[in-house]
């Protein structure tokens, strides 16, 4: 699932592809907004840490995998 994080005073977004569920990401975001840091681990094992005070917005993508190919036509 893709998570897009808008950071205050930056023009670019931080995009993280993670294996975590949408509920786990939402819980981590809510915890970060109350005075902590948002810590996510991406699908390659890298850790992304964003200060909660700097978060402008967070967009949590759907957990459904995109279909590739033509399928049954």
Domain coverage including residue 37: 2-60
pLDDT at 29 over 80: yes
Is residue 34, in this structure, part of any structural domain at all?
yes
Is residue 44, in this structure, part of any structural domain at all?
yes
Give the per-residue pLDDT at 62: 78
In sequence order, what are the residues at sequence separation of 6 or more whose Cβ sits closer than 8 angstroms to the Cβ of residue 22?
1, 60, 62, 63
Q: What is the mean pLDDT of the chain?
A: 89
The whole-model pTM stands at 0.80
Q: What does the pLDDT average to over 5-25?
A: 94
Give the number of domains in the chain.
1
pLDDT at 65 over 80: no
pLDDT tens sequence across 33-48: 998 999 999 999 999 9
Is residue 71, in this structure, part of any structural domain at all?
no
């Amino acid at each position: 699932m893709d998570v897009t994080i808008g950071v205050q005073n930056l023009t670019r977004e931080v995009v993280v592809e993670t294996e975590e569920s949408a509920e786990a990401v939402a819980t981590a975001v809510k915890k970060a907004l109350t005075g902590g840091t948002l810590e996510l681990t991406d699908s390659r094992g890298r850790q992304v840490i964003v200060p909660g005070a700097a978060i402008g917005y967070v967009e949590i993508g759907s957990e459904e995998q995109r279909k590739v190919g033509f399928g049954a036509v």
